[in-house]
Structure formats: structure tokens, C-alpha cells
Amino acid sequence: MTALLTTNLGATPLLGRGKVRDLYAVGDALLLVATDRISAFDHVLATGIPGKGKILNQISLFWFDFLTELVANHLITADVAHFPTALQPYADQLEGRSMLVKRAAMFPVECVARGYLAGSGWKEYQKGGTVCGIPLPAGLLDGSRLPEPLYTPSTKGEAGTHDENISYAATVEAVGEADAAALKRLTLAIYKAAAKHAESRGLILADTKFEFGRTAEGIILADEVLTPDSSRFWEGAAWKPGGAQPSFDKQFVRDYLEEIHWNKQAPAPGLPDEVVERTQAKYLEAFRRLTGRELSL
């Protein structure tokens, strides 16, 4: 199968293309289409991962349903047969990888939950014993479980830039005290519920990020949720603090790019078939483990 890197839905207004998703206006709703693009080091690579968009979309749909009693979400329908008539000629591009969603006023923060020390959190901890300014006990290792999950919000970086960690006080300034408190409460509640489910499937949810918006009904969960693109899932049986953990994400891609000494500047290189196949297999395994289902690409 070939990778779908760009969608084209004719006269349907295109609002933008993110690193992975194409966003269209469909009347009072929005259409999110997860392509097979893959990014690394803040750049979209020349090669996609066939079926990746479908995998991510189906994982998000699983979690939206799993979390429905905890938080409302933006999903209207993911059944292409129920999409507007004007979209039916493009069903081959949309099947399995798209969702019609409610419009929402999005909050200008990425809501991050961390249950383990990794990534930028580990780098900061090494320097001063903190994560996003929050003091932690001495003696933790790369991959250590934190005493309790942390809420560490960040800015939303534009394409080609990093998200920047910000303080809770900064989110209060950005969205107000009541909404900042609600976002923190929801983020930690969702993380704890998802981590418990992941653990039951032999996986560790090390950290994750959410996006929330507001509709007339209140705060809702939006965008993608708890996918290998937005979360660190580790193999529970192999967890051993003190270094990098076996993960369900694009680590094969990052490793390859480091091996070829890419300077992390545009244009981004392509990927060899072996890296593409191993990455696709890892994403599919994450789907199977999380949902207990098979997925036909």
C-alpha cells in the first residue's frame, strides 16, 4: 500500500495542514483527516508510513469512547457514510482516517501529564531537580516513576518550532483561574484513567498531551488523544529506569535520522523501507495492545 501524504477534497475549504492532519471546513463542523505523514525533530519527513493515519484515528476513536463518562469530546461521527453528500466522492481518502467534529474555541495551551521522568522533563531534572519548575525527590533516574502524576502545560509551537513548557501560573494568566483549574483537573483525571487501562494491557503510559476547547456545552477534549504520536507508551515488562525505554512510537525513525547525521534542517530526508515497515508494525502493535482489536489497513 502507498502512503497518503496529502488529501484533496475538491471544493471543500481547506483550513490548514498540520504535521499529520488536514483540516477542512464542512458547514458548521470541521473535518479532521489523519494522513500518513510522519514528523521528527519538528519537521515532516519526505516519506510517510502507510496506514499510520488510520491507526492514529482509530486509537483516538477508541479513547474518545473509553473516556466518554469522564469528559465530553468533539466527535460528531467517524462513519464516512454519514458525512455530507459533497464528501462522498472522496470516501477512499477518508475511510478509517477521518472524523467530523464540532467546532470549538481551543485553549492556547498543550495540557501535558507526566507519570514518569522522560524527555524534556528528564533533561530539566538533571540540571536542577525539577520538572517545569516543580521540585522532585533526589536520586530519580531517566524513566523513573514519579511520586505522583504531574500537570506540566506548554505552549503550542508553530510548525518547525518546539512547544515550550510554561508554569501553571502562566496558564492562569492565559485562560483565567477557573479554566486553568478545570484543565489541570481533567488532564490528570484522563491520564490516571488511561494509565490504568494501559497497565492492564501490559503498557506504561509515561506521559501524554491533550488539547481542549470550549463549546456552548462547556470544555471538551479535542484533536487526537492518547496515540503514539501524542504519548509515550512503554513496554511494561521491559521497564527499567536508568535509560531509554522500549517504546511504541517513532523511535525507529529518530534513530535512523541520528545515524545518518541529518542536521535537522529542511528539507527533511526520506526513510528506507525497513524503517517504514518497522515503524508501521510498532504503531499497529500499539493499536492491538490498547484496543484488543485487529485493524485492517
Q: What is the pLDDT of residues 187-209, one digit of tens each?
A: 999 999 999 999 999 999 999 99
Residues linked to residue 73 through DSSP beta bridges, in sequence order: 221
User: Which residue type, as a one-letter code, is found at position 268?
Assistant: A
At CB < 8 A and 24+ separation, what contacts does 167-171 make?
A: 167/132, 167/133, 171/109
pLDDT band at 250 (very low <50, low <70, confident <90, very high): confident
What are the boundaries of each domain within the chain? 1-103, 106-238
3 state DSSP class of 169: helix
Q: What is the pLDDT of residues 41-79, one digit of tens each?
A: 889 999 999 999 999 999 999 999 999 999 999 999 999
Q: Which of 105-114, 153-162, 207-216, 268-277 has the lowest mean pLDDT?
A: 153-162
pLDDT band at 158 (very low <50, low <70, confident <90, very high): low
d(CA 173, CA 194): 29
Q: Tell me if the domain spanning 1-103 has CATH number 3.30.565.10.
A: no
- Among residues 161, 165, 141, the alpha carbon closest in space to that of 152 is found at 165
Q: Which fold has domain 106-238?
A: D-amino Acid Aminotransferase; Chain A, domain 1 (3.30.470)
How much is the pTM?
A: 0.95
